[in-house]
Structure 1
Amino acid sequence: MSSDDRLDELADEIVARLDDEDLEPTAPTKAFELWTEQLDRADSTIESYRYRVKPFLEFCANEGITSLDQLTTRKIKEFEGSRRGADLKRQTINNQFGTLKQFLRYCIDLNAVSEEVVASLDVPDLSKEDRVNTEKLIAKRAHTILDNLERYRYASRDHVLFLLLWRTGARIGTIYSLDVEDVYRDDDDRERLRTYLEEDYSPSVVEQILEDASLPFIFPRHRPETDTRLKNEIEGERVINVADWVADVVQDYIDVNRADQRDEHGREPLLSSRKGNGRLSKSAMRNWIYVITQPCEFGGPCPHDRDPETCEAREHGHGSKCPSSRSPHKMRTGSITWHRDRGWPVSDLSDKANSGEDLIQGVYDQPEKLVRGASRRQHLNKLDEDNQ
């Protein structure tokens, strides 16, 4: 740094100090912990915030910034430059800077940082192309995987996990939350749901819900007191109808292959495990989805010229290192696109997937234009009905 640059920096710091005489010294990590403690968010969301803000906290430590009142607009711009120069995708920068700005706005309320410093953080705008990551699990691959699971691992835990994620478009947290009792297949099960609903809803609302609930279906519930939150909390509770044959696979799994386990709260997880607390963890679910979506998992050729015997992606816990593997989130994107390609209205799909219509249209729904065009052909006859 030249002497002129150093003088400019010192001047910047002096001005900031004069403007912010009343700021209260607060360590960056302490402020971050205070912020996350007051947030009413799912654990997975808080974890994503930690990941996004971590580079900023590391920057502060490296720069000797032990208190947020030492932040200046110059330091913010230096941090911006370091992240933009790290060969990150524009969407990644948008996510990190957007979360960081939320955190720093909270720090304004703590009187730990000035409004001018926070305003200087530039969160890049995103086009639709920037927002959408097109690496979804396409329907053809998903159905090939389902065929293989039905043939080689019928009614296994892997089969049920993949099947429910694909056919419901649900988040992994929703599948994680399911208990055996959340699967409804017959009229006795329907009455069991009535008993639950009558605790919170009026008789007319209960009857409406039950009328809309065509058997079979699953009914995920928000149970934060026993460690299974839904992302949208009570609003995430909804009837998710499933095909008869899907329910049959789930029931066969329960009858034959499900490990007879209860979690530490005495509940019977649908996807149980003999390890840990008795409920298959979300990290284990993610890893299995990465593995199942690898082309070589069922003996197929590797499109990346790798030897499955020595490929690092075949090692336990490294499934995501296969370029062709997909995460549960990419399954959700592919599932929602497939539902739309098959004619599902956005409003109905919004209810099923528990996601806003704008989000479905702007991010999750990634149509194959030729497929979507073909699906619209069924409506052509309607244009001539009035002329007949």
Structure 2
Amino acid sequence: MRGDGLEPITPREAVDMWLDRLQSTRADETLKSYRYRLKPFLEWCEKEGIDNLNDLTSRDVFRFDSDRRADGLKVSTLNNQLGTLKQFIQFCERIDAVPQGLPAKVEVPSVDLADRVNDEPLSANRAETIRGNLNRYARESRRQVMLELLWHTGCRLGGLRALDLRDCFFEESDLERLRHQDDINQAALEAVELPFVYFRHRSETPLKNKREGERPVALSQDVADRVREYIDVNRVERTDSDERRPLLTTEKGKHARVSKSSIRREIYIMTQPCRWGSCPHNRDTTTCEALEHTLEARCPSSRSPHPIRSGSITHMRDEGWPPEVVAERVNATPESSSRTYSTNTES
């Protein structure tokens, strides 16, 4: 150990150690995204000859930041990369790999409205309008169920996709298959009323926080009715390769369970105002690129699944739900649900 209390470690060793530490609490996909975001930093350290994080200074971080900006990256991309770098350096500080105080000197650029238009939370007013349109024009459809569950439960995309038929509980008789399972949180089960869905972590469809993300989430009777209608009328009966029966199935193709990319595209389409009426952006709907296949996200008003979640959480908080209740429902920390989502937005 050096006189300053730091213990030598290479950047790559530290990244591996950090990701190994997170393995028990983060989904594999999340860890892959962290590694991807840190890849430019590792390459930069190698180019600059920084093979010991003990020698990393705030000036080095500033030069890395400047180099990334010079590459013409979008502010949102910089926000993701430097935000992850800051978390990594905070870990390095805890293991005596970098000088104390270094994480505080990592400046994560804020993302203004122009750079995060598709990340703005969906407002309650827009959500109710879209729900009404789906109920009128696409009742009993897979799209309707996607939107209803995302908005009503505040779940993540991965949680929605992971649901099986056996995770939907509408009547008392459905509970029998849960009450005798040792790996079920029986206390949480007793606290929730029918109808509800149960988010489960399974290796083929992992939840972001793994077993800690497992929870039953109560549904309103109206939402439960929409889910049952879809199951009874329009769900295509298909079975996964692992003999599971997904709630959201595909009509054809190799995979029975709908993909994450398909869910994103469906949500982009549902949140385009011109699908239900006129365009608020004065675009010609006969030539608008956002109406082309795979380009739906280019509509300024379209939203991906995450803004549905953040909008749902915001709505719960604005309705007066306690932070700890919201946090348990959506699998977030009370601090996060209170700090991040308790602001009104009309996006």
TM-score (norm. length: structure 1): 0.73
Q: CA, structure 1 residues 339+80, in 2 after alignment: closer, same or farther (shift >3 Å)?
A: same
Q: Are the aligned partners of 2:93 and 2:99 in contact in 1 as well (CA < 8 Å)? A: no
Q: Are the aligned partners of 2:92 and 2:98 in contact in 1 as well (CA < 8 Å)? A: no
Secondary structure in 2 aligned to 1:219? strand
Query: Deviation of residue 50 (structure 1)?
Result: 3.6
Query: Deviation of residue 330 (structure 1)?
Result: 0.8
Q: Are the aligned partners of 2:318 and 2:342 in contact in 1 as well (CA < 8 Å)? A: no
Q: How far, CA to CA, are the matches of 2:254 and 2:20 in structure 1?
A: 26
Percent sequence identity over aligned pairs: 43
Confirm whether residue 351 of structure 1 aligns to residue 328 of structure 2. yes
Query: Deviation of residue 335 (structure 1)?
Result: 0.9
Structure 1: unaligned runs, 5 residues or longer: 1-18, 370-388
Q: CA, structure 1 residues 27+116, in 2 after alignment: closer, same or farther (shift >3 Å)?
A: closer
Q: Are the aligned partners of 1:97 and 1:121 in contact in 2 as well (CA < 8 Å)? A: no
Secondary structure in 2 aligned to 1:170? coil
Equivalent residue number for residue 294 of structure 1: 272
Equivalent residue number for residue 122 of structure 1: 105
Match for residue 31 of structure 2 among 25, 30, 46: 46
Give the ranges of 4+ consecutive aligned residues of structure 1 lying more than 6 Å apart after TM superposition.
Answer: 105-111
Q: How far, CA to CA, are the matches of 1:211 and 1:32 in structure 2?
A: 41
Q: Are the aligned partners of 1:80 and 1:121 in contact in 2 as well (CA < 8 Å)? A: no
Equivalent residue number for residue 155 of structure 2: 170
| Structure-to-structure mapping, 1:278-289, within 5 angstroms | 278-289=256-267
Match for residue 338 of structure 2 among 351, 357, 361: 361
Q: CA, structure 1 residues 44+310, in 2 after alignment: closer, same or farther (shift >3 Å)?
A: farther
Q: C-alpha deviations, 1:47-72, integer Å up to 9, x for none? A: 431443244245457xx457735986
Equivalent residue number for residue 172 of structure 2: 187
Instruction: Give the aligned length.
Output: 332
Q: Are the aligned partners of 1:294 and 1:324 in contact in 2 as well (CA < 8 Å)? A: yes
Q: CA, structure 1 residues 297+37, in 2 after alignment: closer, same or farther (shift >3 Å)?
A: farther
Secondary structure in 1 aligned to 2:199? coil
Query: Deviation of residue 296 (structure 1)?
Result: 1.1
Q: How far, CA to CA, are the matches of 2:288 and 2:16 in structure 1?
A: 39
Counterpart residue identity of residue 143, structure 1 = E
RMSD: 3.6
Confirm whether residue 216 of structure 1 aligns to residue 210 of structure 2. no
TM-score (norm. length: structure 2): 0.81
Q: Are the aligned partners of 1:101 and 1:118 in contact in 2 as well (CA < 8 Å)? A: no
Equivalent residue number for residue 310 of structure 2: 333
Secondary structure in 2 aligned to 1:115? coil
Counterpart residue identity of residue 289, structure 1 = I
Q: Are the aligned partners of 1:94 and 1:124 in contact in 2 as well (CA < 8 Å)? A: no
Equivalent residue number for residue 146 of structure 1: 131
Q: Are the aligned partners of 2:61 and 2:106 in contact in 1 as well (CA < 8 Å)? A: no
Equivalent residue number for residue 233 of structure 2: 256
Q: C-alpha deviations, 1:206-255, integer Å up to 9, x for none? A: 3x54442311111111112xx12222222222221111121111111112
Q: How far, CA to CA, are the matches of 1:106 and 1:218 in structure 2?
A: 36
Query: Deviation of residue 275 (structure 1)?
Result: 3.1
Query: Deviation of residue 324 (structure 1)?
Result: 0.9
Equivalent residue number for residue 155 of structure 1: 140
Query: Deviation of residue 293 (structure 1)?
Result: 0.6
Counterpart residue identity of residue 135, structure 1 = E
Query: Deviation of residue 365 (structure 1)?
Result: 2.2
Query: Deviation of residue 157 (structure 1)?
Result: 0.8
Q: C-alpha deviations, 1:157-176, integer Å up to 9, x for none? A: 11100110011111111111
Q: How far, CA to CA, are the matches of 1:100 and 1:92 in structure 2?
A: 12
Counterpart residue identity of residue 274, structure 2 = C
Equivalent residue number for residue 66 of structure 2: 81
Q: C-alpha deviations, 1:169-205, integer Å up to 9, x for none? A: 1111111111000000111101122122xx136xxx7
